[in-house]
A and B are shown apart, each in its own frame.
Chain A
Amino acid sequence: MATLTPARAVTLNALALGAVALVLAAAFAAQLVLHELPCPLCLLQRIMFALLAIGPILNIRFGPRPSHYALSLLVAVAGAVVSTRQVLLHIMPGDPGYGTALLGYHYYTWALIGFVAAIVLIAVILLFDAQFAPAPAAGGVARMAVWLVIGLVALNVLSTLLECGFAACADNPAVYELLKRGP
């Protein structure tokens, strides 16, 4: 079996952060370009994707450890449960689904595929024991990937605050609550 050195494992984790950033950015792009506000379950799936990044960040900072991968596995299973619930909400024939489909699937279906893919990929990476040795300090690309994900989550804080305001989020949001003009 090929050797996955600690340095290569850190690079893989930086790539994983890039994948999480891509998912969060794509969701943001759909929100801004299509003017479709995320529903509560959609927001929870975004949050789960963001939480998925904690394991890779810890791996880059402290070196690869099985416990860090376990965190991501827990989050991926929880994320799959959330997205499965939303898929089932729209499973009936004739249901148009929530939001616009991208390449034939809605965001929550892509999310379910993403979470299941994460579970499989993490399990495969855990097969390589050689990575669990002291790792070198993270390089510039890995550090940039960490700050990119943190920046995207910070943007989501702002966006969700604008969307929901200081009350519970609407089931089918149509306007940003904090940008709404008074009567």
Chain B
Amino acid sequence: MTHLPYILASYGITLVVVGAFCVDAWRRSGRAKRRLAALDRRGGR
């Protein structure tokens, strides 16, 4: 395959950026769910 370093770098950058967005969304969502549940428990007492 010709130009392999350029191709690998292009696909690598794409995967890293998209992967970072996925992890960030997943972590934000999980953290918000846990905090909401904790607030609901405290509010219910």
Q: Do A and B come from one complex?
A: no
Q: Which residues of A contact B (CB under 8 A)?
A: none
